[in-house]
Chains A and B, each alone.
Chain A
Amino acid sequence: MTAEAAPRICTYGNGEAMLAFGPASGPHLLVLQPLFEEMNRTRSLVVAVCRGLAARGIGCWLPDLPGTGESPQALDGLGWADWRAAVPQALAATGVTIAGSIAFRGGALIDSVVPGRHWRLAPTAGRSLLSDLRRSALASGSDPATPAGYVLSPTLAEPLAAADLSADDTNRTIRLVRDEHPADRRVDGIPVWRRPEPQRDDRLAGLLADDIAAWIGT
């Protein structure tokens, strides 16, 4: 086994973090992560897919949205427009031509900002993500104003509640086999975004990287 090149650490916008994987040549994709708690749970899968794509000669750019991950900004001061505005800033900072996006779960809610084609894993509506946060607060008896510890401004929560998936012919949607929502392909795997403990699913990551490589190569 050859050693994998470590991702390069970049910044975009106002000091936001972005990891870059893979060669400078070949196609490049912007990676949009899930939102809120699902981002933490899927981090291992997302990075495994990026490494898999890099090994297949495809460049991946993985920004942390403002107020998430390594961001220097606090989430409570940010709105939905800030997340959408971050995407072109990240695109500009790559310095390469981006062929399209790969989005996981709620990341697909902002993929229409990315020019080109859009690949999605188990995309979901904003309303469903907010419902999960609200029910988490209800189940634990905690303050519904800060569900699961997140402080969401009305300028984030209200547009997110209305945010749904854009539909166009350039999208490719992958879902797990037990998910009955419309999909171009269903694959077997662990719904890692649901698991309370972060989990790896290397078989799923490899399968997804193969699917993306075939999709972007066609």
Chain B
Amino acid sequence: MTGATATIEDQLRAILRDVLGVDAARAEAIDDATPLFGAMPELDSMAVAGLLTEIEDRLHILIDDDEVDGEMLESFGSLAAFVRAKRGA
């Protein structure tokens, strides 16, 4: 369970582990510069869709279809920035 103090990055790492099966060591090594879509083998286009749905459900945001693009998923940092902006944090 992620506590109230868990950062958005920590919560996203936990989702990547649970949803995509990224192992703990790899998840820990993920930083803002880590490329995602097109670089992470687990993240095919169906996995992207599932990841976004799980992010919506677990981080309580709504993602519009026109926000889903390569830029948002380019790196872990861009995904975290998107989620942070959505949460207004």
| Residues in A lying within 8 Å of B, measured CB to CB | 37, 128, 131-142, 148, 178-181, 190-191, 193-197, 199
Task: Known contacts A138-B69, A139-B37; decide if A197 and B45 are in contact (CB<8 Å).
Answer: no
Task: Known contacts A138-B68, A139-B68, A199-B21; decide if A131 and B49 are in contact (CB<8 Å).
Answer: yes
Q: Chain B nearest CB: distance from A42 CB in Å? A: 12
How many chain B residues touch A (CB < 8 A): the figure is 25
Q: Given known contacts A135-B49, A191-B18, what 10 new A-B pairs fall within 8 Å (CB)?
A: A132-B53, A136-B46, A139-B48, A139-B73, A140-B45, A178-B18, A180-B58, A190-B18, A196-B43, A196-B44
Residue of A135, A178, A197 touching B48 (CB-CB under 8 A): A135
Q: Chain B nearest CB: distance from A181 CB in Å? A: 8
- In the bound assembly, the distance between CA atoms of A116 and B65 in angstroms comes to 39
Q: Does B23 belong to the interface (CB within 8 Å)? A: no
Task: Known contacts A179-B57, A195-B20; decide if A135 and B65 are in contact (CB<8 Å).
Answer: yes
Q: Does B9 belong to the interface (CB within 8 Å)? A: no
Q: Does B52 belong to the interface (CB within 8 Å)? A: yes
Task: Known contacts A135-B68, A138-B68, A191-B18; decide if A196 and B47 are in contact (CB<8 Å).
Answer: yes
- In the bound assembly, the distance between CA atoms of A217 and B21 in angstroms comes to 35
Q: Are A142 and B53 in contact (CB under 8 A)?
A: no
| Residues in B lying within 8 Å of A, measured CB to CB | 18-21, 37, 42-54, 57-58, 65, 68-70, 73
Nearest A residue to B63, CB-CB: A135
- In the bound assembly, the distance between CA atoms of A74 and B20 in angstroms comes to 30
Q: Chain B nearest CB: distance from A125 CB in Å? A: 11
- In the bound assembly, the distance between CA atoms of A196 and B19 in angstroms comes to 9
- In the bound assembly, the distance between CA atoms of A179 and B73 in angstroms comes to 23
Q: Chain A nearest CB: distance from B13 CB in Å? A: 14
Q: Are B48 and A136 in contact (CB under 8 A)?
A: yes
- In the bound assembly, the distance between CA atoms of A179 and B18 in angstroms comes to 11
- In the bound assembly, the distance between CA atoms of A178 and B43 in angstroms comes to 20
Q: List 30 A-B contacts (CB under 8 A).
A: A131-B49, A132-B46, A134-B49, A135-B52, A135-B53, A135-B68, A136-B45, A136-B46, A138-B65, A139-B45, A139-B68, A139-B70, A140-B48, A148-B45, A178-B18, A190-B18, A190-B21, A191-B18, A191-B19, A193-B50, A194-B19, A194-B47, A194-B54, A195-B20, A195-B42, A195-B47, A196-B44, A196-B47, A197-B21, A197-B42
Determine the chain A residues whose CB is within 8 A of the CB of B47 once the complex forms: 194-196
Determine the chain B residues whose CB is within 8 A of the CB of A181 once the complex forms: 57
